Structure 1
């Protein structure tokens, strides 16, 4: 049996999405910026997709900017807001467990002279609302907090965070990449100023995403060369992939509730299966403030590299954390921020599930981990 359990890294493209995209590739091939009929035909699908994305996320069509993915969206939002508002102050805030497409931008801005506060998290991966409130000053121009952590699945209290930020002059950016398809993401209800998503995390194609930017929010755009995306992002829009993003988002929201029930059942079954086999492990993160599709576990009896290798040999495909840090020997910055035990990150594995997974696959993973444990338990 082969079991892919690395869906937080990427998901397979759904067949309905492929069908939609192939129709555009083969028939509606015009440049959406061209004024002739073939160009206008492509523009129609671009506009329809923008409307779908806006509707699914409770935003205005004018607030949707299509990008190449979350990394571009995060970079554009953070740098664009900071550069546009630096005359008001030079203090910015994020957490220590953000994705590197956020953290590395903040680190670069810090080198440029901006004052950065990196919020701590507790052992469940939750930011402290009190620390956030105390960190905010009249000089704070931006706060960037991810909705769902990509390594441990912890869900941040968005309503509470938004309420704290609203009592300041700071703008609010949210990396919502891992929330789509698992939580209701309501752009206007959360009162977010900028939000990033990417299609390949919820059954869409790689290489396409969106930045939602609240109407009236000043942002300095860096990509120049044309007047696409209403002069906000130069470059010919990738219409087939944008259509794929819109279709994948619609499907993710349509089946979200049923999928969540299935995913939580799989997660609980996985943990119970490990317990029944007397495999020593501890959960990294929260069991309550979490999504069903990510579970990160600490296995004290084996290092993560060996575990991943042995699981791979058993045709079980998982990871140690973000795919964007693959090949790095640096321990997970997320787990390092959560736990004082420096060794924990070296013995932790992320499993991430999908609605297509079965109970049989979950049991197979637990069985293979059990075999590995018996090989190494004498060394504990």
Structure 2
């Protein structure tokens, strides 16, 4: 019986502890338990009859009746039950609390000055880091390239292309050379034709033909010969020369002089073969009073007078005129040719038959 009562007390206390763990706070529960316990105790004593005091001659007072162990257990059980009930009634339905959605705190804006300052600092830092990272260049040794040689002037090719347009000119006892200006016209020196009005023109392979001296310029030593253009008269390979240009800036430039010089003889069919060529260089241009002449060192021989002088491009820049200094009859050293611009300046008058 004693064990059973103890178990009840333990159960009641456990219930109280459970309530303490799950319900209101400790202070509220203590007040509630005290209140309920006091109510039960008051009710217990109210139910008992108030005893009428008797006076006995006993020297000791009569003790006040105490509360039994069963009553304490019962009170504890009831307090626990009532507490649970009241706690259930006191537990409010949780009300949802609405909180306003917080607006994000705006990030402070960046001013243009700050952007410029940041950009400038970033650029400076970047350049600094790049300079630090830049490796020291290692000297690389490359083989010394050999200079590309400038292609030399191929006068042989020029000669092969132009010699059919160079002619042998006979004017009585005088002989010289001439060159094709255009179909029907051949140019030579005035001193070659002299006072003759008609000349014999010989060429590489074909028979000779005749030409008429239509005009001369004695001062410039130029004569213009006209011939009748018909098929088979002139070698078909003969192309008129292209007139070029030459100035003092072309000093030391290579030149080629062509003409029928030396002891070349006339063949049985009247042809004279191809005109020889001599290579030299330009020295300077000189003015001889109304005419410009080219001073050159290309060797010339008797019979070359009136022959063409070509530059490295195959253009006609002058016409052989005279030579000074001889070696066994050959003119070497300083030689002269009529400048191409002098020829250009008189051609129209010569074609018109105007001599001077």
TM-score calculated relative to the size of structure 2:
0.20
TM-score calculated relative to the size of structure 1:
0.19
**Bigger relative CO (Cα 8 Å, ≥ 6 apart):** 1
**Higher-strand-fraction structure:** 2
**Higher-helix-fraction structure:** 1
